[in-house]
Structure 1
Amino acid sequence: MIAGVCGGIAERYGMRPTTVRLLFLLSCILPGPQFILYLIMWVAVPKAPARQYH
């Protein structure tokens, strides 16, 4: 919702965005670089092309 990282991961692997967001939040409880990886992906992963509605 903030940078689209979790939504992009969900779309890539055929998962629901809410599930990926919850898994990310739960992983933040564990020690590790999850938040730093999120920031790196925010910068490094290209944005999806805009969808056009007819």
Structure 2
Amino acid sequence: MPEKKSVGGQSVTRKNYTPASKAKCVRQEVAGARQAAGARAPGIAPALLGRWQRT
């Protein structure tokens, strides 16, 4: 995947999450943790966690 350039000229790349780390975050949310709290711990957006749950 090509790197993106930010305003400051620094290169920015997308984070890649392993299937195991995705499953761990989803399990925490299903176990009763709030979606926003479960997403903040690994530094992901709550909307991304929601997408992982739907897949």
- Class of the TM-score when normalised by the shorter of the 2 chains: 0.3 to 0.5
Using CA pairs below 8 Å that are at least 6 residues apart, which structure has the higher relative contact order? Answer: 1
Structure number with higher strand proportion: 2
TM-score by length of 2: 0.34
TM-score by length of 1: 0.34
Structure number with higher helix proportion: 1
